Structures are given as structure tokens and as C-alpha cells.
Structure 1
Amino acid sequence: MNGPLVVIGDTLLDVDIEGSAERLAPDAPVPVVDVEARHPRPGGAGLAALLAARDGAEVVLVTALADDESGRTLRGLLNGRLRVVPVPLRGSTVCKTRVRAAGQTLVRLDTGDGHVVGGPAGELARTVRSVLRTAGAVLVSDYGRGMAGSLLDLLGEVDAPIVWDPHPKGPSPLAGCALITPSESEARLLCPPPYAGPDEAARRLVKALHARAVAVTLGADGAVLAHEGGHHTRIPPPLLDGGHDVCGAGDRFAAAAALALRDRLPVEDAVALGVGEAARFVEAGGAAAIRPSRAQMGDRPRTAIEIADLVRANGGRLIATGGCFDLLHAGHVSLLRRARALGDALIVCVNSDASARRLKGPNRPVVGQQDRAEVLGALGCVDAVMIFDEDTPAEAIERLRPHVWVKGGDYSGRELPEAESLRKLGAETVVLASVPGRSTTGIIAAMHAA
């Protein structure tokens, strides 16, 4: 059985803001876009890995992720589809936002300055080396952010075929790569002048980069493939209706070709397969057609942070609430059911035992934090539970970033301790009426009086 496809490279967050543009702004001759939807997806190496996983392959992605909002969104988008080996990222996640109307991109906004500085060390280096040893093939998806360069030493130990999708700002591909896949614009930059066309560029790059094969991709014209021996061939695309959004086509090509080499197909067949898959990808709408499903969550348990990231990534509405939930009763259950009905997922923030004692007194809680979390998590209306140790759930709220924070009616008219955190996030606060006659304090008093 073939080993997994290991994808190494820089993962970006791509966002499509879709809307309609039917008028010009009064203060400038620019279209006004009425936003209808926001669709995030992995970009760069993350997109190549996701596309390979959608083909049914076992995929391991070695990439750098920041602990910021965009980085957490990426984790949510990738969870459940493939294994991610995260490497620290210095700076913020690179995010490329396209504003689109009627299927056309009007403007792209790029933010983020994240780079990988230095290679992995210690346990992380051992993990990456172990992953590479089991690889059936390796795809280096370089977007010039340092990930490929940080692993050059470890990549030099790989026995499996390496497909290298280069970037002008990245390192030179390792000698002996099974296939290098520059676009024609990248080939122009990689070849010393004068540029004599893609056929000559492919032949020259095979020698200059000491590769077994180079495929210069030509978009709608397919690719030109040059072999180590010097001969080259044109590989045309299939006859399809075509498409307009070519975003991600290079990643689709490289992922398909790498999987074919993993399956021991000849390089010419691998490139032909990649050209065909890229053409069909564009015909189907390109990267803009990728819509991660909540089915990514699968059946396995998820942490509160993972569920929060995934709900936001899918454009959902995240609800959160908090409390001690000591001696769970019908009033609690009613509140949680009504809270869950306000959105797409409900996360319950639960005071730890120490926090509950500071809030309720030395004899509380009656039920320990793990038991309380277990009982809450068993309710069908609760998607995840997060235990917090602070006096207020403010820190938990800032980590989850809910769209709506729910409190029981006993807080009506009072300033919430977590109000400042909610204001910073722009979160909505909803106060739901409590069920009369239901309280943990009343239950405890009745037990003592019995």
C-alpha cells in the first residue's frame, strides 16, 4: 500500500466576499458591492492538501499556522479532512480577500506578514522526519513564506518522489526532484534571459535545476513537459467548456500529479492527469466553488475551539453561554435549548471548581467540574463545553469569539462582568427568561431542610 501524500508549504487563508454590484458610489466611479456571502477556504499548500484529500488520498500537511483569528479559521477548515503537523509562524496569517460580483473579481485585498524563520527542532523535527519517512510522495507547495526553505535538510533525506511547485521568492528546488511545476510566468523568472518560450524554458530548467522532469503549465493551453534526457512534449488540456476563475488551478494540477507519481504512474501520465484535473477544476468554478461542509466535523469529539472555528469558517452563527451549572436542572436545560435555537452551534463555558468556590462559597460546587462538563456535553443541544478557571468567562469569550452571548433572566438589567469583552468582539448579548422556581440554590436548600 502506498504511503500518504505529504504536502509541505505555506498555507494562506483565502476569502471570497460575494455580492451584487448594480450601482456606482456617489463619491467615486467605483462599484458598490452589496455583500451577500463570505466564503473562507484554505489557500496555498492548504488548498493543495485539501484537494488531494478530496480525491480520497491520505494526506499529511506540514505547514506553519499562527495563533490568530485567520490561523484558527484555517485549523477549522482543515480539521477532519487531513492530518496537520503545525510549525510555528512568525507574524500574522496571510489572508487574501477577493471581492466578487456576478462571478468576476473586482479587487483583492492582501493582509498578513507571516514567515517561517528557522527549521523545526527537537520533537517537532523528529515528527516531521517520521512523516517524511512514511511518505508515498511529497508535494512542496512553495508560496515564498519560508516553509520550504526551513525543511531543505529534511527533504534531502526523502526517498519518495518529490513534486516541487516553486515560487520566485522561495528556495531553489532540491536536485533530483521527480517533477518541478512552474507556471509560465514563474519559468520566465527562473530562467536566465533571454526567454525563448515555454518549450525551451522547460528544457533549460531540467538541466539548471537537476530535475528528472519539469512541466511548465500554460493555463488553457495545457503544459509542456521536458525530461531529464532533453526531449520535451506538449500536453494539451481536455476539450471542455472552460471556466473563468483559474484561482487554485496550479494547486489542483500539482496535487493530482503528485498523487499519480505516488501511485507509480509515469511522469508523462502524471502530468496529463494533472492538466486534465486542473481543466475540470476551472470548469467547475475553480477555488470559488469550494464550500467546506459541516460534515467535516465527522463523528469524533471536537474541542470547543475547533467547533467555534469550524462554525465561523462555514459562515455559521456561534452561540455561547456560561455558568456553574451545579446540579443541572430543568431551568438549565430550558435555557440551553433556547440558546441553541438562536444559531448553528452552542458552546457552554463552565466555571471550574476553584472558580465556583470563589463565586458561590466554600461548600460549592456540589458536583465536580469534570462531571458537570460530562453531563452538559451529553445534552443534544450542547455542541461543546469549555471549563474556565477565571472569575468571569471574559477570557473564554475572547478565545471563542461567539456571535451571541446568552445569559439567564437573573442578569436582566445588570451590567455583565464580561460586557467589555463582548463589546470588543461586537458580540450580541441575549438575556433569556429563567424558568420560575428552578435554581440550584433552591434545590440545595430543600435538601438541607429535608
Structure 2
Amino acid sequence: MRGRGPLVVVGDVLLDRDITGRADRLAPDAPVPVVEVASERCRPGGAGLAAALAAADGREVVLVTALGDDEASETVRSLLPPGVRLAELPLDGSLPVKSRVLAGERPVIRLDRGGGTPGAPGARVREALAEAGSVLVADYGRGTARALRAALGRAARRLPVVWDPHPRGDQPVPGVRMVTPNEREARWFVREHCAEAAGRRLTVDDDSLRAQGLRGALLAAHWRALSVAVTLGARGAVLARAECDDPQYTPVTADSEGDPCGAGDCFAATATAVLADGGLPSEAVDLATEAAAAFVASDCADRANWRADPRRPARAPASGAKPRRTAEITALADAVRARGGTVVAAGGCFDLLHAGHVQFLQNARRTGDMLIVCVNSDASVRRLKGEGRPLNRVADRVAVLEALGCVDAVAEFGEDTPQELLRRLRPDIWVKGGDYRVQDLPEAAQLREWNGQALVLPYVDGLSTTALALRAARVPS
């Protein structure tokens, strides 16, 4: 059941600016990458992103934050989704702007500028907090939470309050339902505030789950919070309570490879929504962990408008820790080449993986130092093989391929041939299985663009997906 009042997000808004492009060379005057800009986008950051994510499922959300008359503040106002209402504090100065330059989806540099001081809250802000059904404090250490500390203390005594803390910000008010530091922040807070209580029970470099639970319990006692959820990135989260020796560990059950920027906001927003609907802290952490993992794995360019249903089960985790994102595979291939190694790519549908496929891939791996398998998407297989194919969906085919020791990475492509994918991967050797001739491969000419080589390796005679499927169809059920 939804809370009686709106979900109110209190905190510091930033303007996030991402400049993306490719970096294929170094500058002639300094050993720094030259990024050829392909796109540029802005979105609300900090408390603004948390509010947008909280409103993504149609929930009524009010954002209490400090905005001014500067260009960045006006941009944030225009970018907030319709489901977010503003209750503004005055801002003395300019809104902070955080600019990231990314090459191949990886940050190269971050530039920060601007900053101001929140003024005194007015009647509209006080009214928003008085009518709140739940509160999320997204504290980025720039003064908004501090300006409203007394009102937040009163709110924590009557409704669910989640506090996402920052080392430069205020400590949570007593009585909050949940505090959500990440692992690095939890270490810092314990070192600054709980060092004596930690004593010999905890070392700074201990990253075991036991240690994370102990940090959470120490902080819950220090902050007088009902619970502390320490988020661990790809490892999941630990939920702890003061004076409690059995913390709850929630692993990530979805593929969480991707851009982690904003994952903490997604976690905190989801947890607040679950608590607002009457959920327990344990339920909130379970669903928030799934939502944050799905958020990181998403390729959504406009993350302020990202949507997910945290109560829908996440997809199964990938087998092993092999990369799937093209940017990560490319980075791994570049590292192999930098060491003087040879990068091999092989392609196919691999619908029913059989001994012929395995021998082919093992032989392909022997020709170099890294094997990338380019696998056709479901739509691509259907176009090539006809209705009824594939027999196995691409997620299952990828999982089986990743389980092979000879395969270092798997990349999916949706076209009939992987030429566009190969242009990004730039393998040294392209291997195809079957009775092709090299000159008949559409990829062969492309490989020559970067001095690559195309090879054909035979499959094992008498084995094929079609033959196996026909044989299985004849077996009585």
C-alpha cells in the first residue's frame, strides 16, 4: 500500500554532464588521450536523480533542494520529469556542475565547477515536509540537509526516513529507518566516529562480509538508526542493526556490469519506496539491491528517466565474471595486444552447443591469446535459420559459451553478419567454422582494414545442430 503522503527527497542537486566519444590516440604534446566527442547530455544529479528515480513508477514525489538563478539551476528545472514537484530553498551562488568525459564508456576525467550555500527554508518547504509520507535524504555535503536538520529530526519520529550520507555532510538524525552508506563511506565513518568501539575487532582493510556487518552495526548504534545498509557494489549489500550479531547479506542476482554512477541513488530511492509502502528493512534491501544492479546493467542513456519494477524478479546472473559489454571486451582485447598477444574472434549461432562447436572453439583459442565469441541474437538466428529457431534463447546460449574455459568473452550482435561488431573489436584473427572458403567470408575484406587475418576451421564431421534437433524429435516422449 502506498504511503499517505508524497515521497519527499531532501538534498543537494547537481547538474551531471556526460561528454562521450572515442579515444584512439594520444595528444602529440602530452601523454593524454584525445577524445573525439560523439555526444553530450545533461541530467539532474545527486538528489535530483534520486527524485527522478523515485517518481519513475508514477509515485508522487516532492524534491526539496536549493536552486538559484544561474544557468545550471535553470537546466535542472527543465530536466526534472513531470512527476517531480519542486519545493526550493534559495541558493547563494551557483549550482554545482559535474562533467565527466568518457571514452569507450569509461571515464577519462571529471571536472567539477560551481557551488553555493542553501538559504533558509520558506513556507513551501516546511509544508512539503509536514505533508510527507516518507523522506529520503540524499546528502551530498552541500548544506541542504543541514539547513533542514530540525525538521528532519521531527519527521524521523513519525514516518520512514532513509538517509544516504556523505563524508562531507551531516550525520543522520536519530531515529531514521535506514542509513545507506557505500563500503568506502562506511569505512570512513567508522574510522572517524567509531574507532574506539571497533577496537581490535575490525581492521581498516578487512572487506569480509563479517566486517561489513560489524561496520553497519557500529554505525547504527552511533547514529541511533534503526538499521544501516552497507552497499557493496557488485557484491550486493549488508543490512545491520545496533547490538545485532546476525546481519542480513543480500547478494546481487543480476548482471551488474556497467556504469555504476547513480547506483547509490537508485538503491536509496527504491529502499525508501518499499518502506513507504509498508515494507520491512529486509525487504527494502532485497528489492533495492536488485533495482540498483538492473540500473547499472542498463544501457539507458537518460538515466533520470530510467524505469524498472523493483518487485519484478531480475534476470539470472551471468556464469562467471566474463565481460559482455563491448567497451569492456574492447578494453580487455587492447590489454592483451599491449602485452604482445593475439586477439582471436569467432562467430556463429551456437544454438545447440555440441562437441563440434567445442572442438572448433578450442582450436580457435589455440591460434591466439584471447578468444571472443560473437554470437547471433535471436532475431538474427531467426532470419538466417527460419521459423522455429533458435532452439535456445540468446541469454542461454551466451551462458553456455561463457562456461567454456577456452572462451574469454562473449558479445552479441543483431545483424546477419558481425561486421559492425568486428569493426569495434578489431581482432587480429577472425575464425569461422564449416566448409567456407576464406575469400567467400564477408568479414575477410574488413579484417584487412587493420591487417587482420580470416581463417576457416572445420567442424567435426557428422555433428550439426539441425541433425541433433531432428534426432531429438524422433525420440519417443
* TM-score normalised to structure 2 length: 0.58
| Letter paired with 1:265 | G
Residue 224 of structure 2 is aligned to residue 242 of structure 1: no
> What residue number does 1:386 align with?
none
Matched residues, percent identical? 48
| 1:21-100 equivalence runs, <5 A | 21-78=23-80, 80-100=82-102
Q: Is the 1:94–1:111 contact (alpha carbons within 8 Å) kept by the matching residues of 2?
A: yes
Describe the SS at the equivalent of 2:94.
Answer: coil
Select the residue among 130, 151, 155 that pairs with 1:154: 151
Residue 9 of structure 2 is aligned to residue 7 of structure 1: yes
Distance in 2 separating the partners of 1:48 and 1:138: 11
- Return the offset for 1:291: 6.5
Q: Is the 1:77–1:292 contact (alpha carbons within 8 Å) kept by the matching residues of 2?
A: no
> What residue number does 1:267 align with?
281
Equivalenced residue count is 287
Gaps of 5+ in 1: 294-450
- Return the offset for 1:285: 3.7
- Return the offset for 1:166: 0.7
Describe the SS at the equivalent of 1:186.
Answer: helix
- Return the offset for 1:289: 4.6
Q: Is the 1:39–1:291 contact (alpha carbons within 8 Å) kept by the matching residues of 2?
A: no
> What residue number does 1:179 align with?
178
Select the residue among 224, 231, 238 that pairs with 2:238: 224
| 1:27-426 equivalence runs, <5 A | 27-78=29-80, 80-117=82-119, 119-120=120-121, 124=122, 126-158=123-155, 159-191=158-190, 192-193=194-195, 195-196=202-203, 197-228=211-242, 230-285=244-299, 289-290=302-303
Change beyond 3 A, Cα 1:227–1:146: same
Q: Is the 1:41–1:292 contact (alpha carbons within 8 Å) kept by the matching residues of 2?
A: no
235-244 vs 20-29, which moves further = 235-244
- RMSD (Å), alpha carbons: 1.8
Q: Which portions of structure 1, spanning 4 or more consecutive aligned residues, are displaced by more than 4 angstroms?
A: none
Deviation sequence 1:180-204 (CA, Å, 0-9, x none): 1111111112113365431111111
- Return the offset for 1:274: 0.7
Change beyond 3 A, Cα 1:226–1:232: farther
Distance in 1 separating the partners of 2:304 and 2:124: 31
Change beyond 3 A, Cα 1:291–1:51: closer
Distance in 2 separating the partners of 1:248 and 1:240: 17
Distance in 1 separating the partners of 2:305 and 2:79: 7
Describe the SS at the equivalent of 1:177.
Answer: coil
| Letter paired with 2:24 | E
Distance in 1 separating the partners of 2:305 and 2:291: 19
> What residue number does 2:392 align with?
none
> What residue number does 1:430 align with?
none
- Return the offset for 1:292: 5.5
- Return the offset for 1:129: 2.4
Describe the SS at the equivalent of 1:167.
Answer: coil
Describe the SS at the equivalent of 2:176.
Answer: coil
Distance in 1 separating the partners of 2:252 and 2:236: 9
Deviation sequence 1:176-235 (CA, Å, 0-9, x none): 000011111111121133654311111111111101111111111111111245244243
| Letter paired with 1:70 | A
| Letter paired with 1:89 | L
Q: Is the 1:237–1:279 contact (alpha carbons within 8 Å) kept by the matching residues of 2?
A: no
Distance in 2 separating the partners of 1:232 and 1:168: 26
Change beyond 3 A, Cα 1:281–1:167: same
> What residue number does 1:359 align with?
none
| Letter paired with 2:187 | R
Distance in 2 separating the partners of 1:221 and 1:238: 6
Describe the SS at the equivalent of 1:47.
Answer: helix
Distance in 1 separating the partners of 2:32 and 2:263: 29
* TM-score normalised to structure 1 length: 0.61
Describe the SS at the equivalent of 1:260.
Answer: helix
Q: Is the 1:95–1:110 contact (alpha carbons within 8 Å) kept by the matching residues of 2?
A: yes
Q: Is the 1:175–1:209 contact (alpha carbons within 8 Å) kept by the matching residues of 2?
A: yes
| Letter paired with 2:303 | I
